[in-house]
Amino acid sequence: MTTKQVFEYMHHAPDHDDPVHGAPMKVNMGPQHPATHGVLRLAIELDGETVTSIDPIVGYLHRGKEKTCESLGWHKFFPHTDRLDYVQPLLNNVGYALACEKLAGIQVPQRGQEVRVLLMELSRVMAHLIYIGTTSIDLGAVTIFFYSFRLREELYSILDAYTGHRMNNTYVRIGGVYADVDENVEGMVAEFLRTAPARLDEIEKLLTANRIWHDRNRGVGVISVEDAKRLSLSGPNLRGSGLAYDLRKAQPYSGYETYDFDVPVGTVGDAYDRYLVRMEEMRQSLRLCTQALERLKKSKGADVLTEDRRYVLPPKGDVHSSMEELIAQFKIVSDLRLPKGEAYHAVESSKGELGFYLVSDGSSKPVRCHIRAPGLMNVQAVPVLGRGRLLSDMVAIIGGLDFVMGEVDR
Amino acid sequence: MGSLKPVEGEGVGFLATRVDELINWGRKNSLWPMPLGLSCCGIELMAMIGPKFDLARFGAEAARFSPRQCDLLVVAGTMTWKMAEAVRTIYDQMPDPKWVIAMGVCSSSGGMYDSYAVVQGVDSILPVDVYVPGCPPRPDAVIDAIIKLQKKIEREDPLRRLLKGPENKPDIGTGEAFKQPNAGIARSSLDLHPHDPKAKLEELQK
Amino acid sequence: MTAPQTRERVVKALEGVAFDTIDARDGMLTLRVERAVLGELFARLSDRAGFDQNTLVTAVDHFPAEPRFEMVWQFLSYDHNDRVRVKCSLAEADAHVPTCTPQWPGASFSERECFDMFGVRFDGHPDLRRLLMPDGYLHHPLRKDFPHAGIEPDRLYREWDKKRREGWQPNA
Ligand code: SF4
């Protein structure tokens, strides 16, 4: 793509011959609209078919997570982190656990980190598959939904075998993960890694060179790197504009610096670029999973949870047989005290920078748990990207920005 | 089609049934769900329509996003008080007869969100036919709920309702008898489910 | 643990602005300032120190201690790959701070959220409305004196419901 083309895309006036200029019209999109990802409401003002102003109204899924954390305590908040960005539950778990560990100042054992990387990357693939599925449904390519869900079902089966539930697994703990992956799960992941690239190719074959997909996505929702930065966009939306900033590379955690993977970037910054970036990210995630799996094979038998018993739950088997362990478990679940202070930790979620800002006063009740939701920033960009475009472009813009309301509203 | 009885005659073959049962048979096998995917449960709802679980096997895959075309409201996810108005509007816009499935603990009872923003169970604002526990319920569980609902539809009495006309009760707005223990607001007589067995019982007692 | 280059750069950019640095547990460079210098501070951080992304704007409620609120801003610089945190204490009686939306338009929703949740006003914000709770909600949920179960959570719905029933036609 040459600079000239980029320029044309950016200043692409809506090319339509619209007889009904002049009479502004207000259209309400949502909160229960099939093409919004969840319960987002957009109050749109139209001039003919052209969007003149957009007011995103969020909060229809505000469940009071931050307050919940403050009243429940550190450990009991874990299940609630799953339901933030509910298409990638385990990644959110890890984000919160990392922030708590930073506050507590503890290290996760090597194998625990490897399991986490595996889980995080599988979650990323899950999240991007939802993006592909829902966005293509919105744009009329219903088949893709079935293709992406077929792949997602395989991931569900893996998580089902590993954690016992398909979604909202809550399998990460402060100091590691709840249980080790066994051979069965490893085998399933290996099988998935063997078949997934071909499945992704199938999806790409149907979309990447598809004329309709091009028409609906290319040149839609263009944003420059500078604007994206100032709008606090992160993740694939920022990389789609061309800045190769990935927290996994820039501020590595869980040993990401030792893995070998690439950060895909776009060139134009439109919805199509974001799509390409996400497709490539899925492949990179598969690469990461392969590496993590190899390491897991080598480190068999090592701990996945730290030994530091101040913050870590005792093994389940001991809890049933020993009084001390039972008391320890009870204390950690209901009365875990993290040291006084504050900590911020951000992970690269599938939507962008997912950060947890925790403030503790040394007691068992958190003073503050702020969740820096990348989705909220993505919603914020909708008016900027949508102004001056056609109403039908809104669907592509919303889909391309990719947010999940559970995280936007918290 | 259990209610159809083949009648054998000389040279003719036809099926005999009751109109009631025919209507019920038609209704139960062509539920048009309105997937109200509010949050996490909505993802499982998608999975249910998706390739592995394939809701089409039960005649309920024709998901429509317009309430005017639907007769089954699947409330999948956490409903907040801010969203409640929209949900109630959607329910009001659906044509009779209509049924509601509360999918997940959030919509059944508020679930893990005992907080200032969340409705403690959609039954405080809507009449619910089937509750599905689970966080999120597995798609199998929801399919089971749909089968249960089909059984329930089978037992309904559509003709009688048709002849008698719809219940035309003035909206009293108190509905003390149906106050749920967890309901934030009192239910009115209008919220009586048209196919509610309790209503039927009352009717018979009159 | 703060990288010395970051500290150096920030100190240089903030020449003439009064601030303290505190040691945060996570090692992030943390500045504590008075409200009066916030506007100047934002401009300097944005233009001279090169912080081009606003990560978060939030508050911490230390009820019943005074000053009650502690505002927290966090910024990220993509070029230098580092972060800075800014803090400022506010009394409950005049809980308002200058907005940072001129420098970082992306802070707009965060500020609206903070206003919604804590009732801290942002002077100069172009569109300071509630973000998550409905308009007309009377409380600020994340304040410590607000109960988790809420105060009359269904009030607005009930009002709406009353209106709905006025024009109700059961047969229509
Ligand atoms: S029941 Fe669980 S999965 Fe379903 S919406 Fe509620 S929290 Fe989400």
- Residue-wise pLDDT for A308-323, tens only, equals 777 888 877 788 888 8
Cβ-defined contact of B118 to A79 (cutoff 8 Å): no
pLDDT band with cut points at 50, 70 and 90 for residue A36:
low
- Indicate whether A38 pLDDT > 80: no
Cβ count near B23 (within 10 Å): 18
How many Cβ atoms sit within 10 Å of the Cβ of residue A63? 26
In this prediction, residue A10 has a pLDDT band, given cuts at 50, 70 and 90, of: very low
Q: Does domain C4-132 have CATH number 1.10.540.10?
A: no
DSSP-assigned beta bridge partners for residue C98: C123
Does C109 touch chain A if contact means CB atoms closer than 8 Å? yes
Cis peptide before A89 (omega within 30 of 0): no
Mean pLDDT for the stretch of residues A325-334? 82
Q: What is the mean pLDDT of residues A336-348?
A: 87
- Whose Cα sits closest to atom 6 in ligand 1? B106
Using the mean position of ligand 1's atoms as its centre, give its distance from the Cα of residue B113 in Å. Answer: 9
How do residues A279-293 score in pLDDT, each as one tens digit?
899 999 998 999 988
Mutate to test the pocket of ligand 1, among B38, B80, B101, B106 (most ligand atoms within 8 A of CB): B106
Assess whether pLDDT exceeds 80 at residue A366. Answer: yes
Give the distance (Å) from ligand 1 centre to CA of residue C22: 41
Pairwise CA distance, residues C152 & C143, whole Å? 16
> What pLDDT is recorded for position B4?
65
Residues with CB under 6 A from ligand 1: A 83, 168; B 39-41, 77-78, 104-106, 111, 135-136
Structural Rg of chain A based on CA atoms: 22
Q: For residue B185, is pLDDT > 50?
A: no
Picking from B38, B50, B52, the nearest residue to A61 by CB comes out as: B38
pLDDT > 60? residue B190: no
* Residue pLDDT, tens place only, B57-110: 877 777 777 888 888 888 888 888 888 888 888 888 888 778 888 888 888 888
Under an 8 A CB cutoff, do C146 and B116 touch?
A: yes
How high is the pLDDT of residue B167?
Answer: 53
User: What would the mean pLDDT of A172-179 be, rounded to a whole number?
Assistant: 85
| Confidence at residue A2, expressed as pLDDT on a 0 to 100 scale | 39
| DSSP states along A193-222 | HHHHHHHHHHHHHHHTT-HHHHHHHTTSS-
Instruction: Kindly report the average pLDDT of chain A as a whole number.
Output: 83
C165 in A contact zone (CB under 8 Å): no
Q: What is the pLDDT along chain C (172 residues), one digit of tens a residue?
A: 467 787 888 778 778 777 788 877 777 888 888 888 888 888 888 888 888 888 889 888 887 778 888 889 988 888 888 888 888 888 888 888 888 888 888 888 888 888 888 888 888 888 888 888 888 888 888 888 888 877 777 778 878 877 777 765 544 4
Average pLDDT over residues A158-180: 86
Rounded mean pLDDT of A235-256?
A: 86
Distance in angstroms (rounded) separating the CA atoms of residues B122 and A408: 22
* Helix/strand/coil (H/E/C) assignment for every residue in A311-354: CCCCCHHHHHHCHHHHHHHHHHHHHCCCCCEEEEEEEECCCCEE
CA-closest candidate to residue A250, choices A352, A378, A182, A177: A352
Residue of B nearest to C146 (CA): B116
Specify the CATH architecture of the domain B32-153+171-205. Answer: 3-Layer(aba) Sandwich (3.40)
Residue A381 CA: distances (Å) to CA of A33, A217, A374, A394: 19, 16, 11, 12
The domain limits of chain B are 32-153+171-205
- Which of B168, B184, B185 shows the shortest C-beta gap to C171? B168
Beta carbons of A32 and B82 less than 8 Å apart: no
Give whole-number Cα distances, B165 to A383, B96, C165, C170, in Å: 49, 12, 21, 11
Q: Which chain C residue shows the shortest CA-CA distance from B184?
A: C154
pLDDT at B7 over 80: no
pLDDT at position A22:
59
Q: For the segment A70-124, what is each residue's pLDDT rounded down to a tens digit?
A: 888 888 888 888 888 888 888 899 989 998 888 888 888 888 888 889 888 988 9
Question: Residues of A at the B interface (Cβ-Cβ below 8 Å)?
Answer: 31-34, 38-39, 59-64, 67-68, 79-80, 82-83, 86-87, 130, 133-134, 145-146, 149-150, 152-153, 156, 166-168, 405-406
Atom 5 in ligand 1: which residue has the minimum CA distance? B77
Distance between CA atoms of B173 and A46, rounded to whole angstroms? 39
Task: Please give the pLDDT value at position A13.
Answer: 47
Q: What integer pLDDT is reported at residue B187 of this predicted model?
A: 43
Q: pLDDT category, B138, cuts 50, 70, 90?
A: confident
Note the helical H segments in C25-131: 38-47, 108-118
Residue reference for tokens 């044509």: B95
- The per-residue pLDDT for B189 is 44
| Ligand 1 center from residue B114 Cα (angstroms) | 13
pLDDT in tens, B14-42: 766 777 778 888 888 888 888 888 888 88
What pLDDT is stored for residue B127 in this prediction?
80
B135 pLDDT exceeds 60?
A: yes
- How many angstroms separate the CA of residue C98 from the nearest CA in chain B? 29
Please give the pLDDT value at position C165.
73
Of B81, B116, B185, the CB nearest to C148: B116
Nearest CB to C153: which of B85, B125, B184? B184
pLDDT above 60 (res A186): yes
- Gap between the Cα atoms of A152 and A168, Å rounded: 14
pLDDT at C167: 66
Is residue A62 predicted with pLDDT exceeding 70?
yes
* Range in A93-102, A118-127, A191-200, B124-133 with the lowest mean pLDDT: B124-133
A372 inside 8 A of chain C by CB: yes
Domain A65-308+338-408 fold is Cytochrome-c3 Hydrogenase; chain B (1.10.645)
pLDDT cut 70: percent of chain A above it: 92
Ligand 1 center to A198 CA (angstroms): 33
Residue A162 pLDDT more than 60? yes
Ligand 1 atom nearest B113 alpha carbon: 7
Residue B186 has pLDDT above 80, yes or no: no
As a whole number, mean pLDDT of residues A298-305 equals: 82
Check residue B26 and give its pLDDT: 81
Lowest mean pLDDT among A41-45, B11-15, C14-18: B11-15
